[in-house]
Amino acid sequence: NAGVTQTPKFRVLKTGQSMTLLCAQDMNHEYMYWYRQDPGMGLRLIHYSVGEGTTAKGEVPDGYNVSRLKKQNFLLGLESAAPSQTSVYFCASTTPFEGLDEKLFFGSGTQLSVL
């Protein structure tokens, strides 16, 4: 049972380049999330999805797009990377069907640097 897997683990981009971060979970979870973590800022929600084919904006969605074409995958795209998007990105998933258990399962993160 791999849990939540993020690829890639590290990436360096030049300003203006595009890329896609992949999150895959094998727990059949309905809910998936993308967060960014910056020093002293905690985690901030970028986008989230409550099911296949649905996405919604979080706290800091600008400059990012997402897709959830398959239940197990949640993709985060940067169309034109900016230095302000240098961050560590975490994917998480959970399910509402374990009572009120809102435990999030996190991936190990993607460290992105935009030069």
Provide, rounded to whole angstroms, the least separation between the CB of residue 2 and other proteins.
13
Residue from 24, 75, 78, 107 that binds other proteins (CB under 8 A)?
Answer: 107
Contact 76, 85 (CB under 8 A): no
Residue from 1, 2, 14, 40 that binds other proteins (CB under 8 A)?
Answer: 40
Residue from 13, 21, 33, 64 that binds other proteins (CB under 8 A)?
Answer: 33
C-alpha closest to that of 114 among 16, 9, 4, 31 = 16
Taking the C-alpha atoms of 18, 16, 8 and 22 in order, what is their torsion angle to the nearest 10 degrees?
A: -30
Does 5 help bind other proteins (rule: CB under 8 A)?
Answer: no
